[in-house]
Structure 1
Amino acid sequence: MMRTARRTAQEMLDLILQVAREDENIRSVLMVGSRANPDCAPDAYQDFDVCYFVRRVKPDYWDNMAWIEEKFGRPALVQRPESMELIPPDNDGSYIYLMIFPDGNRIDLQVTEDPYVDDGEPAVLLLDKDGDFPEIAVKPDFWHVKKPGAKAFADCCNEFHWCLNNVAKAIAREELSLGMDMLNHYVRDMLVLMLSWYVGAAHEFKISVGKGGKYFQRLLPQEMYDSFRRTYSDAEYAHMWEASFEMLDLFGKAARATAAQLGYAYDEAEEAGIREYMEMVRGERLSTGGYGEPGR
């Protein structure tokens, strides 16, 4: 059971630094992620994304839960990507502990021997015992939506429209899991990308929509956000059809506006083609008597 008294951010940082200061092998500590991003509003659910730069990873920190529990306490839940088989590990010599503690705090801890490479992600240096940590460049636009070229824009449109045909077939065949996978992965990925470009173009690409478009609610016009909400369906096949056509309408609206803003062309014939196909498949399926129970 989770504790009700959550440790404060300062208490967590004090613990992270205490472990590092007391360990001669740990030479510097870096924090990345949302807590290092000044544009991200702080809340209690932010992870502590921390990297310990050490002289050697093995054997002390490699798959060593005894060390974790001694220094940080026993996690309520932990994942160790470098020790997994189902999801292939990076095998880059670093070790990662993803940990949720009983009070609800989460630490994503990487332990590495590799030198720091500044890729532009916002980062905060918390500890530098040797005074030789590389300078961290300030790049506030790291998370901003990137302007697409005309080819990338056209490819996004084509992928979105093409994958909708697989959604239509899956619904018609009553293949619930496949239909949902196509709708909420392949098709939705392109919709989120186009909506991101729509927002980016409206703000001269000086804005972030957040991971997975999590800021859409405050960045999209209300009518577009309401439409976006309607693209999420339950397991009723009729509702999946409604969500699919809602996606098609919303994508077209965002794509036309983005194309106009960037001076690109939107392929109206491509949209008309997939719309006609979807309507044909839906009509054929309904003419045979509709659907049985969802997931039958």
Structure 2
Amino acid sequence: MRSEQDMMKLLVNFAVEDPRIRLVTLEGSRTNKNIAPDAFQDYDISYFVTDMDSFKENDDWLNHFGKRMMMQKPEDMELFPAELGSWFSYIILFEDGNKLDLTLIPLDETEEYFSSSDGLVEVLLDKDSLIQNEVRADDRQYWIQKPTARKFDDCCNEFWMTTTYVVKGLARKEILFAIDHLHEVVRPNLLRMMAWQIGAERGYSFSVGKNYKFIDQYLPNEDWEALLSTYAGNGYENMWQSLFTCCELFRKYAKAVAASQGFKYPDYDEAITGYTMNIYNS
């Protein structure tokens, strides 16, 4: 695998030598000092260019970066509609294991890019001195956010209402329906509530990572093991137990958040729990 130094030199030098590329930025985890570097980090690179069409005519210019194992062009797909507007991206896995997410951006959209940035940006090359103010990467936008009373109540409402869909799916023997609602709504709201309690205990000045990937560092071991057990969805009884565990954990963490922030914990927990157990035992 080529080193980070080799890859960065390759990516920047290509831009230096191509007059169509006027500005280069690095985004994502490689700019975040709070993320330990490893070999699986993508190279999230943006080229700000004067002539988009000349790049899109063919893919030969991408050969400069190495032999490709696979490439995806999200803005050139029919099944998955484009989301980047006039921007165009290439997601490339090279044969040596390096991965490049390369985005072409029209030069006249530079201001829009920086105004919508998540803060994790470094300027690698600026041929025309377009960037007047110093750009410093930080992950502040991803820090745990202190909940308002309304957000807390919304989270509780969404969690407990959606549990009834899981229950319905299990009672009807529609396990994929139940799994989908538990994975897509119930557990994400549990994780959100857990993060809020972590913030209440430790302050709201850090992130638990994308997809809550670092949350295990802040949870008691027994709660972490319980959370992991809720990913067992291979069978109806396992799904019921996963749901029960999610409910127990949510109740614990939501009540802790309510106590620390002076919020009212909703009383429909008791009603929904009774409803759930009646159907489970029927």
Is the TM value for this pair above 0.5? yes
Aligned-pair CA distance for 1:131: 1.9
Aligned-pair CA distance for 1:170: 0.8
Using the size of structure 2 for normalisation, the TM-score is 0.93
CA contact (8 A) 2:48 2:105 kept: yes
Using the size of structure 1 for normalisation, the TM-score is 0.89
> What aligned pairs does 1:27-106 form with structure 2 within 5 A after superposition?
27-58=22-53, 60-62=54-56, 64-69=58-63, 71-90=64-83, 92-106=85-99
Structure in which a larger fraction of residues adopt helix: 2
Amino acid corresponding to residue 271 of structure 1 in structure 2? D
Q: Distance in 1 between matches of 2:139 and 2:132?
A: 18
Alignment counterpart, residue 128 of structure 2, candidates 127, 130, 142: 130
Q: Distance in 1 between matches of 2:57 and 2:256?
A: 51
1:162 and 2:161 correspond: yes
> What aligned pairs does 1:278-293 form with structure 2 within 5 A after superposition?
278-284=276-282
Q: Distance in 2 between matches of 1:14 and 1:152?
A: 45
Q: What are the ranges of 5 or more consecutive residues in structure 1 without an aligned counterpart?
A: 1-5, 285-296
> What aligned pairs does 1:130-149 form with structure 2 within 5 A after superposition?
130-135=128-133, 136=135, 139-149=138-148
Q: Distance in 2 between matches of 1:262 and 1:139?
A: 27
Q: Distance in 2 between matches of 1:120 and 1:237?
A: 41
User: What per-residue deviation string (whole Å, max 9, x for no partner) do you get for residues 217-262 of structure 1?
Assistant: 1111222212211211131111110000000000111111111122
Kindly tell me: are residues 63 and 191 of structure 1, through their superposed partners in 2, closer, same or farther at Cα, counting changes over 3 Å?
farther
Q: How many residues align?
A: 276
Amino acid corresponding to residue 234 of structure 1 in structure 2? G
Kindly tell me: are residues 216 and 140 of structure 1, through their superposed partners in 2, closer, same or farther at Cα, counting changes over 3 Å?
closer
SS, match of residue 52 in structure 2: coil
Q: Distance in 1 between matches of 2:127 and 2:93?
A: 28
Alignment counterpart, residue 274 of structure 1, candidates 268, 272, 275: 272
Aligned-pair CA distance for 1:149: 1.0
Match of 1:7 in 2: 2
Match of 2:241 in 1: 242
CA contact (8 A) 2:122 2:136 kept: no
Question: In terms of mean alpha carbon deviation, does 206-215 or 74-83 score higher?
Answer: 74-83
Aligned-pair CA distance for 1:64: 3.1
Aligned-pair CA distance for 1:68: 1.5
Once superposed, which parts of structure 1, at least 4 consecutive aligned residues long, lie more than 3 Å away?
Answer: 137-140
SS, match of residue 53 in structure 1: strand
> What aligned pairs does 1:140-289 form with structure 2 within 5 A after superposition?
140-267=139-266, 269-284=267-282
CA contact (8 A) 2:122 2:137 kept: no
Q: What are the ranges of 5 or more consecutive residues in structure 2 without an aligned counterpart?
A: none
Q: Distance in 1 between matches of 2:256 and 2:7?
A: 45
Kindly tell me: are residues 177 and 161 of structure 1, through their superposed partners in 2, closer, same or farther at Cα, counting changes over 3 Å?
same
